[in-house]
Amino acid sequence: MANFSDFGLSSELEKALSNMGFEEPTPIQAQALPIALQGKDMIGQAQTGTGKTTAFGVPLLEKIVKEDGIQGLVLAPTRELAVQVAEELNRIGQVKGIRTLPIYGGQDIGRQIRALKNRPQIIAATPGRLIDHIERKTIRLGTIKTVILDEADEMLNMGFIEDIERILSEIEGERQTLLFSATMPKRIQSLAEKFMHEPEVVKVKSKELTVKNIEQTYIEVHEKQKFDVLCSLLDIQSPELAIVFGRTKRRVDEVVEGLIKRGYSAEGIHGDIPQAKRDQVIRRFKDQTIEIMVATDVAARGLDISGVSHVYNFDIPQDPESYVHRIGRTGRAGNKGLAITFVSPREIDHLKIIESVTKTKMNKQPVPSIKDVLAGNQQATINRLMETIEKNAYNDYKRIAENLLEDTDSVTLLAAALKLLTKDPDVTPVKITAVEPLRARKPKGGGSGGGGRDRKRFGGGDRSRGGRDRRDGGRDRNGRGERSESGSRERRRPRNNSK
Ligand SMILES: Nc1ncnc2c1ncn2[C@@H]1O[C@H](COP(=O)(O)OP(=O)(O)OP(=O)(O)O)[C@@H](O)[C@H]1O
Ligand SMILES: [Mg+2]
């Protein structure tokens, strides 16, 4: 078993890793560190939640010297991910006095310009906003030595290729380029050929694209029943934290509204929600103020939130890569997770394609019955009761209990109390606008397997329009007048509007 001390790291970084509670490197770290620390270009693929951030963060931070301008750049497809990567790099880099600043759209640019005055050595950015800064000359990339493309395939999907090209062209001289993702569609190769210098490819060997600690199931359910089934599952499974993925922004809004109506604590996140609100939702979800986050694919990539025990695909994802990343929000860092995908009868073929590309099998689970829901709610009551006993938080009620027991027997009393405490299945009417099932297009030809298939083959992706256009969220992958979320995750604002 490898050890962090095997890599000849500086004592500061070794200390930082042990402060973070990292006892031994994960497989991708063990394989990537020796290569990346030599300064070589590298492509790293490993399953979700297996520590890719540290795998690139350590070689990046090791190279940084304290007083030399911006030396490192991490590009990420979404704002939340840029923020999270910056947080992790700051945690590791702190001991060495290295500062990472997140730069992302939707946040006041003046604030970012002020923060740049603190002279961060690393920038973790979404491409659009970084270009704004380059054009304003508030960020100069001339001193950069290391570039990391986190979730590179997704940045391609989102049409960021021109932006990436533009950004990299600003970086003069020799640079080390690292590219990481849990999925590596074939298209990545052209990106690598273009921007990397003889990259070494590091793939953590495993048959499946997903980690074993996520239990994967699916439920065949008609569109109209989805919402009730979701509520039933939430009652039966009482997740610690759950993410529910929907196909469109409207879908997310409607599911959130419905969940709140039925008494769940839920909030939504998608590309049309103002950034300040998005940040707040993530914060409230992380600190468990809300239990359910409903999201479009904007939250599918990279987010590392501990306590996410369940992922529900309210709508089956458009393509296998999206599936891999969505369910990867649970089962991270060796923890267990459960992923449940709703499939309408006409989407079964689509499900089979996801299974074959990801090389996994989802077990079919029956639609839960009212009896199951009641049993789940009863169990939840019992758990709450036991917690109250453990916490010793019942003393004020002891006297009342003793008085009541003088007239009524204990079993009757307790049964009545349990009945009162137990939630009845909530049947408050909720209407969710129906969406058409996703239709699978059979892949033409052999396909590469292992996530190597092109997205275009699934669900009729429209990638022919110009880059700007796509980024502005106008793309409609379903072709049915509902905006699909992909493409509006990071919006470029018109120049005069980005104050
Ligand atoms: N060596 C380690 N030991 C223990 N925990 C670790 C180690 N390295 C990373 N972690 C933790 O594992 C979790 C997942 O790490 P990270 O977010 O880097 O995964 P990832 O591979 O980038 O996943 P994704 O593909 O979803 O982006 C984080 O909470 C991180 O702190
Ligand atoms: Mg990651």
Q: Is 93 in the pocket of ligand 1 (CB under 6 A)?
A: no
Atom of ligand 1 nearest to the CA of 25: 1
Encode the chain in three state secondary structure. CCCHHHHCCCHHHHHHHHHCCCCCCCHHHHHHHHHHCCCCCEEEECCCCCCHHHHHHHHHHHHCCCCCCCCEEEECCCHHHHHHHHHHHHHHHHHHCCCEEEECCCCCHHHHHHHHCCCCCEEEECHHHHHHHHHHCCCCCCCCCEEEEECHHHHHHCCCHHHHHHHHHCCCCCCEEEEEECCCCCCHHHHHHHHCCCCEEEECCCCCCCCCCEEEEEEECCHHHHHHHHHHHHHHHCCCEEEEECCEHHHHHHHHHHHHHCCCCEEEECCCCCHHHHHHHHHHHHCCCCCEEEECHHHCCCCCCCCEEEEEECCCCCCHHHHHHHHCCCCCCCCCEEEEEEECHHHHHHHHHHHHHHCCCCEECCCCCHHHHHHHHHHHHHHHHHHHHHCCCCHHHHHHHHHHHHHCCHHHHHHHHHHHHCCCCCCCCCCCCCCCCCCCCCCCCCCCCCCCCCHHHCCCCCCCCCHHHHHCCCCCCCCCCCCECCCCCCCCCCHHHCC
User: In whole angstroms, how large is the CA radius of gyration of the chain?
Assistant: 24
Which residues belong to CATH 3.40.50.300 in the chain?
A: 4-203, 208-444
Q: Is 44 in the pocket of ligand 1 (CB under 6 A)?
A: no
Atom of ligand 1 nearest to the CA of 26: 1
Q: Is 328 in the pocket of ligand 1 (CB under 6 A)?
A: yes
Which pLDDT score, from 0 to 100, does residue 494 have?
A: 40
Distance 22 CA to ligand 1 centre (A): 10
Contact 75, 149 (CB under 8 A): yes
Distance 29 CA to ligand 1 centre (A): 10
Per-residue pLDDT of the chain (499 residues; tens, 9 = 90+): 789 999 999 999 999 999 999 999 999 999 999 999 999 999 999 999 999 999 999 999 999 998 779 999 999 999 999 999 999 999 999 999 999 999 999 999 999 999 999 999 999 999 999 999 999 999 999 999 999 999 999 999 999 999 999 999 999 789 999 999 999 999 888 889 989 999 999 999 888 999 999 999 999 999 999 999 999 999 999 999 999 999 999 999 999 999 999 999 999 999 999 999 999 999 999 999 999 999 999 999 999 999 999 999 999 999 999 999 999 999 999 999 999 999 999 999 999 999 999 999 999 999 999 999 999 999 999 999 999 999 998 999 999 999 999 999 999 999 999 999 999 888 899 999 999 998 866 544 333 333 333 333 333 332 322 333 233 232 223 333 334 454 444 444 343 433 3
Report the alpha-carbon distance of residue 238 to residue 376 in Å, rounded. 8
Which pLDDT score, from 0 to 100, does residue 205 have?
A: 85
Q: Is 185 in the pocket of ligand 1 (CB under 6 A)?
A: no
Global confidence as pTM: 0.89
Q: Is 296 in the pocket of ligand 1 (CB under 6 A)?
A: no
- As for the ipTM of the complex, it is 0.99
Q: Is 49 in the pocket of ligand 1 (CB under 6 A)?
A: yes
Q: Is 22 in the pocket of ligand 1 (CB under 6 A)?
A: yes
**Beta carbons within 10 angstroms of residue 365's beta carbon:** 13
> Residues 6 or more apart from 417 whose CB is under 8 A from it?
none
Q: Is 326 in the pocket of ligand 1 (CB under 6 A)?
A: no
Report the alpha-carbon distance of residue 203 to residue 181 in Å, rounded. 10
Which pLDDT score, from 0 to 100, does residue 442 have?
A: 53
Q: Is 304 in the pocket of ligand 1 (CB under 6 A)?
A: yes
Distance 7 CA to ligand 2 centre (A): 21
Residue ID of nearest Cα to ligand 1 atom 31: 51
Q: Is 175 in the pocket of ligand 1 (CB under 6 A)?
A: no
Distance 22 CA to ligand 2 centre (A): 16
Contact 2, 30 (CB under 8 A): yes
Which two tokens mark 192? 């690598």
Burial environment of residue 127 by CB neighbours within 10 A (0 to 12, 13 to 18, 19 or more): buried
Q: Is 347 in the pocket of ligand 1 (CB under 6 A)?
A: no
Ligand at shortest distance from the CA of 46: 1
Report the alpha-carbon distance of residue 447 to residue 85 in Å, rounded. 33
Report the alpha-carbon distance of residue 397 to residue 404 in Å, rounded. 11
Assign a CATH topology to domain 208-444: Rossmann fold (3.40.50)
Which two tokens mark 471? 């980024």
Ligand at shortest distance from the CA of 307: 1
> How far, in Å, are 179, 302, 498 from residue 77 at the CA level?
13, 9, 19
Burial environment of residue 378 by CB neighbours within 10 A (0 to 12, 13 to 18, 19 or more): middle
Which two tokens mark 314? 């309210």
Report the alpha-carbon distance of residue 479 to residue 238 in Å, rounded. 36
Contact 26, 57 (CB under 8 A): no
Distance 27 CA to ligand 1 centre (A): 11
Distance 184 CA to ligand 2 centre (A): 13
Probe target for ligand 1 pocket from 75, 304, 322, with the most ligand atoms within 8 Å of CB: 304
Report the alpha-carbon distance of residue 381 to residue 417 in Å, rounded. 10
Ligand at shortest distance from the CA of 327: 1
Distance 181 CA to ligand 2 centre (A): 7
Q: Which CATH architecture has domain 4-203?
A: 3-Layer(aba) Sandwich (3.40)
Report the alpha-carbon distance of residue 80 to residue 290 in Å, rounded. 17
pLDDT digits (tens, 9 = 90+) for 439-484: 866 544 333 333 333 333 333 332 322 333 233 232 223 333 334 4
Ligand at shortest distance from the CA of 300: 1
Q: Is 307 in the pocket of ligand 1 (CB under 6 A)?
A: no
Report the alpha-carbon distance of residue 228 to residue 293 in Å, rounded. 17
Distance 49 CA to ligand 2 centre (A): 7
Q: Is 332 in the pocket of ligand 1 (CB under 6 A)?
A: yes
Which pLDDT score, from 0 to 100, does residue 455 have?
A: 35
